[in-house]
Structure 1
Amino acid sequence: MEYSAETWEYDGSFYGFLTIVYHAFKSEVFPESILTPETSVESLFLSEWIEKDEQKAQRIYVRLQQRLKPENFQFILDGFYATVPNKESHLLEALLIALDTKDSLTNFIGHPSILAIHKGIKTLLGEAHLFTGFVRFEYVGKILFSKISPKYFSLPYICPHFAERYPLESIMIYDETHRLLALIKQGDISFVENADCPHFEEQQLEEDIQDQWKTFLRAVTIQERINKKVQLSHMPLRFQKHMPEWQ
């Protein structure tokens, strides 16, 4: 595989990235830099726009599923949604390794690209794990609704947990950071991208429930033993924003 001084730019979507993969492997050239509309504003170099082609992307998706070990395919998928500097270039390097081995990519942790992606995935999944305990729902009619503000793209990773935990409920979770709305209905999960936060009329019943919850917490709290520093070490401020017991 040759490396060129070219700079490519795409729309930042997963299928857009798979179109990048198609062009890179077909031309046998890896560009020096791959930008998105968000990162291109920081670049001083002219870039070549790679238009998303869903048919080519779908072919690459199926091909990678066939060629890669399931755990390596998941590594690439998780790596795309992780927050990693120069993510796309690292993923191309990881794909090059994955296509040439039957071993797990995590056994190539000494490679700078694999290490960078691995760290990003660990951070992403770590945040998702915390949110499974910190998400607070409120009843809006018959719907369980919650709003979160994650640093990373963790909403898709927490939805299976709540779909399994509340198999008979209709659930909506809104990620205001990434403007992503998750819809969970009796275990089925779907997403709406570039969504505005739903607005509901205030429900008196939900307000009563929250007041009772706050009253209970005040009753069991020993004021003399409150330690703000320890509290913050277990629950950072950014998680408290949408939790009624901290309001």
Structure 2
Amino acid sequence: MNYEYDGTFFGFLSAVFDAWHDGIEKAESIRTEGSLSLFDEPRSVCTDPGKARRILEALRQQCGGRACHFLYYAFMAELPDREDPLLLYLRLAFRYKNKFLHHLSDEPIWTVRQMARKTGNERHKLLGLLRFRELSDGMLYARLAPSCAVVPLMAPHFVSRFPEERWVIHDVRRHMGVLYESHCLSLIEIPQTMQELSLSRDEQGFNQLWQTYYQTISIKERRNDTVRRSFMPEKYWPWLIEDAKHS
């Protein structure tokens, strides 16, 4: 049996729930909608938060909270065919139960741990690299294009840092963002056409000052982009305010 879901984490867990109900060993694959051919005889699964929470709660009770953490972070890595190792990971989790995390020699468990590490590492880097700008209406706005879907994972950190502000973190690669307003956090869709920013007058001044400072202290003859890339991958450079040609 092949299962199709909507690409969300809860959608994937809903498909896992149905696969378990049908007999998990009969599940051939779980894929996002449209990725299976007609010859695969896909069964479409609707996202059901109740089913998803039952899978997560069973995993937490039998294997501990860290097992849930690795599962979620691995899913958010958005690697190709991620569902295969995640499904095997869950099968082994419910087999080994509370000794599950000690079985790193099992390839699916190790693979999922590495996927989760990829997401965690990028989240950690971007927490320090994210640049907010003040828009003309007073809202703080930041944009980035991460490899992993880390924006929802970054949001709690900034809720703690800016609890009284209005802000949005925009993932331009996925055309979505996290909006924090009136002490409420929500995921939003952001149209691809949103390109121009209306910055506040103060923000325009601060941007210019920061860029001038950055250019002043730099030494052209000692610029070494190879070393720079070792500290900060080039894919993050376009989102740095201090680099005038990218901002």
TM-score (norm 1): 0.85
User: In the alignment, what sits opposite 1:18?
Assistant: 13
Q: State how 1:28-43 maps to structure 2 within 5 Å.
A: 28-30=23-25, 31-37=27-33, 39-40=35-36
Residues 35 and 83 from structure 1, CA distance in 2 versus in 1: closer, same or farther, beyond 3 angstroms? same
The answer to whether 1:47 aligns with 2:55 is no
Deviation at 1:45, TM superposition (A): 4.2
| 1:16–1:51 CA contact under 8 A, matched in 2 | yes
Structure 1 residue aligned with 2:206:
209
Q: 2:167 matched to which residue of 1?
A: 171
**1:75 aligned to which of 70, 74, 77:** 70
| Letter paired with 2:209 | Q
Contact 1:14 1:80 (C-alpha < 8 Å) held by counterparts: yes
Structure 2 distance, partners of 1:162, 1:53, is 29
Cα pair 1:9 1:48 within 8 Å, conserved: yes
Q: How far, CA to CA, are the matches of 2:51 and 2:216 in structure 1?
A: 60
1:214 is displaced (CA, Å) by: 0.7
In structure 1, how many angstroms separate the alpha carbons of the residues matched to 2:38 and 2:228? 44
Q: Displacement of 1:232 after TM fit?
A: 2.1
- How has the CA–CA distance of structure 1 residues 129 and 35 changed in structure 2, closer, same or farther, with 3 Å as cutoff? same
Deviation at 1:33, TM superposition (A): 2.2
How do residues 65-104 of structure 1 correspond to structure 2 at under 5 angstroms? 65-100=60-95, 101-104=97-100
CA–CA separation in structure 1 for the residues paired with 2:126 and 2:47: 34
Q: 2: CA distance between counterparts of 1:84 and 1:114?
A: 15
Residues 169/104 of structure 1: CA separation in 2 closer, same or farther (3 Å cut): farther
Query: Could you list the runs of 4 or more consecutive aligned residues of structure 1 that deviate by over 6 angstroms after TM superposition?
Result: none
The Cα RMSD (Å) is: 2.4
Number of aligned positions between the proteins: 238
Match of 2:134 in 1: 139
Q: Quick one: distance in 2 between partners of 1:50 and 1:37?
A: 8
Aligned-pair CA distance for 1:15: 2.3
Q: 1:53 to 1:232 in 2, by over 3 A?
A: closer
For residue 109 of structure 1, report the CA deviation from its aligned partner: 1.8
* Offset, 1:160: 2.1
Output the CA distance in 1 between the equivalents of 2:229 and 2:70: 32
User: For 2:186, what is the secondary structure of its paired residue?
Assistant: strand
In the TM superposition, 1:97-136 aligns within 5 A as 97-100=92-95, 101-105=97-101, 107-136=102-131
**Structure 2 CA distance for partners of 1:38 and 1:175, relative to 1, 3 Å:** farther
Which runs of 5 or more structure 2 residues have no equivalent in the other structure? none
Residue 221 of structure 2: aligned partner: 224
8 A Cα contact 2:85 2:108, kept in partner:
yes
What is the DSSP-based 3-state SS (H/G/I as helix, E as strand, rest coil) of the residue aligned with 1:206? helix
User: 1:99 is paired with a residue of what secondary structure?
Assistant: helix
**Secondary structure of 2:177's partner?**
strand
Q: Which moved more, 1:76-85 or 1:127-136?
A: 76-85
Percent identity over the alignment is: 27
Q: Deviations over 1:29-86 (max 9, x none)?
A: 332222213633xx68423223214143344344444444111122222222223343
Contact 1:9 1:47 in 2 (8 A): no
Which amino acid letter does the alignment assign opposite residue 227 of structure 2? V
1:235 aligns to what? 232
Aligned to 2:198, the other structure's residue is in SS state coil
The 1:39–1:109 alpha-carbon spacing in structure 2 relative to 1, beyond 3 Å, is: farther
The whole-number CA distance in structure 2 between the counterparts of 1:187 and 1:128 is: 22
Distance 2:22 2:43 in 1: 16
Question: Which residue number corresponds to residue 3 of structure 1?
Answer: none
